Amino acid sequence: MPETERVASFTFRRQLTVEWGQCDPAGIVFNSRFFEMFDTNTWLLFEAALGVKPQDLGAHFGIIGIALVDTRGNFLKPVKFGDTVEITSRISEFRRSSFDVEHRITRGEELAVEGSESRVWTTRRKDDPDKIAAGAIPAEVIAKFG
């Protein structure tokens, strides 16, 4: 398998119960709330795989962050106030300086939402630290998700 298509099998699961304030007048989760859930799950996926707390990730790896450049949600089943769901997240692909995260929200056996994120390993430019650049993701990071 080429470097650019390494698939990570490490997965992170989180259970949550839908809150009143996350729902819209139709009584179901308002779509933007799923993107909050995805974002948090990505941070927690990294914490689980690397053992580094989200707030320490930048300092630990000398990066600015893991900037989101693209995200998508596909809403298959409505998720309602009080529903307990599980969000399962994993890296679906690592590239040189970016990676994709796959999120699946299930309610019992049923797949309710599929999501994805593309993120960039964001660093400061060595010749101009005020500027941002995509950095190479360390092999040790990728290995932890293997």
Report phi then psi at 100, rounded to 5: -115, 140
One residue of 2, 25, 108, 129 binding a second copy per CB under 8 A? 25
CB 112 within 8 A of CB 77: yes
Residue 32 interacts with a second copy (CB under 8 A): yes or no:
yes
**Among residues 11, 13, 54, 142, which is the contact residue for a second copy, using CB under 8 A?**
54
Of 3, 56, 60, 139, the one binding a second copy by CB under 8 A: 56
What are 58's two structure tokens? Answer: 């930048």
Radius of gyration of the chain (CA): 16
| Residue 10 vs 75, nearer CB to a second copy | 75
| 110 is a site residue for a second copy (CB under 8 A) | no
* Single residue of 13, 43, 92, 107 touching a second copy by CB under 8 A: 43
What sign for the dihedral angle of Cα 77, 11, 6, 60?
positive
Do the beta carbons of residue 37 and residue 87 sit within 8 Å?
A: yes
Q: Hey, what amino acid is at 104?
A: R
In the chain the first and final C-alpha atoms are separated, in Å, by 13
Q: Does 100 bind a second copy (CB under 8 A)?
A: no
CA-closest candidate to residue 15, choices 86, 89, 83: 86
Q: Shortest distance, CB of residue 137 to a second copy, whole angstroms?
A: 19
Q: Which is nearer to a second copy, 8 or 18 (CB)?
A: 18
User: Which residues of the chain form contacts with a second copy (CB under 8 A)?
Assistant: 19-21, 23-27, 30-33, 35-36, 39-40, 43, 53-56, 64-65, 68-76, 80-82
